Chain A
């Protein structure tokens, strides 16, 4: 990656500052609105990661790394996988098939909603973390002194 953009590049910095919060909000909207509208975990994760990518491009990888540390991203990526499998195992231990959400709650519909919500959430977490991980490993490779 190129070195971070110099401080005098004011327009880009302010535009990025204005854009990043809506991008994050939109990612969350896509995440939690995936049941009723287009979208879901995969898209939301990518959009969420793109906000971090924009931040890292404008303000430098180091500052972005202060929030999204290597350890955090690794933990999040694994956590998403773990959550997905846990949902599957939960229905397995409740006496249904693997990833059969009917038994997760008292009502069958509620169980389905809960299962879809949790799996979409885990997809979003893992995709966002992996995308950021890939981006940072590319970016930091470039600025090696």
Chain B
């Protein structure tokens, strides 16, 4: 990650991000989160890297050097980071059995999803059945992203005819 900050060649930065995504996917596999690892490998390392590369093909490959040092962005980033770190102090300790994650609905999902949904993959059961409304929202986000890209970049034919 330090290399990503230091490098000026954006091509190398994109490649490093791809490698990072694959490492994250491997980490998820070791944590037994196969579904998340699958998504990370397919979306994070595959499509996202590819989309960034095609963006580079449209723009330039090297980052512009800026001589002027900007203080305000540094202040903003530092204060937001400090706030976020302060927020983590309230989070439950790692593998704390009384954490809300374990005591709220997760127990219900784990114990009764086989009886209520009858799907062997618990992740799919939660994603599409219990939390179907959220997934509809995610799908809407993707759909909107596609519309946005079309609105910004699309329609070569119509533009060419004009």
Interface of B is mostly: helix
The interface residues of chain B lying within 8 Å CB-to-CB of A131 are: 47
Q: Does B81 contact A (CB under 8 A)?
A: no
> A42 vs B43: C-alpha distance in the bound complex, in angstroms?
9
> A30 vs B116: C-alpha distance in the bound complex, in angstroms?
23
Q: Does A77 contact B (CB under 8 A)?
A: yes
CB distance from B122 to the nearest CB of A (A): 11
Which residues of B91-149 have CB atoms within 8 Å of chain A's CB atoms?
A: 116-121, 123-125, 127-129, 132-133, 135-136, 138-140, 142-143, 145-146, 149
The interface residues of chain B lying within 8 Å CB-to-CB of A109 are: 117-118
Which residues of B5-39 have CB atoms within 8 Å of chain A's CB atoms?
A: 34-35, 37-39
> A6 vs B58: C-alpha distance in the bound complex, in angstroms?
21
Q: Which of A30, A122, A134 contacts B146 (CB 8 A)?
A: A134
A141/B58 contact (C-beta < 8 A), A37-B121, A115-B128 known: yes
Which residues of A127-145 have CB atoms within 8 Å of chain B's CB atoms?
A: 127, 129-131, 133-135, 137-142, 144
The interface residues of chain A lying within 8 Å CB-to-CB of B143 are: 77-78, 80-81, 126, 130
Q: Does A58 contact B (CB under 8 A)?
A: no
Residues of A within 8 A of B (CB): 1-2, 30, 34-40, 42-43, 46-47, 49-50, 53, 70, 74, 77-78, 80-81, 84-85, 88, 98-99, 101, 109, 112-113, 115-116, 119-120, 122-123, 126-127, 129-131, 133-135, 137-142, 144
Q: Sort A-B residue pairs by CB-CB distance and give the 9 closest, nearest first.
A: A130-B146, A99-B132, A38-B34, A138-B54, A137-B153, A109-B118, A137-B154, A46-B42, A35-B119
Residues of B within 8 A of A (CB): 34-35, 37-39, 42-43, 46-47, 50-51, 54-55, 57-58, 116-121, 123-125, 127-129, 132-133, 135-136, 138-140, 142-143, 145-146, 149-150, 153-154, 156-157
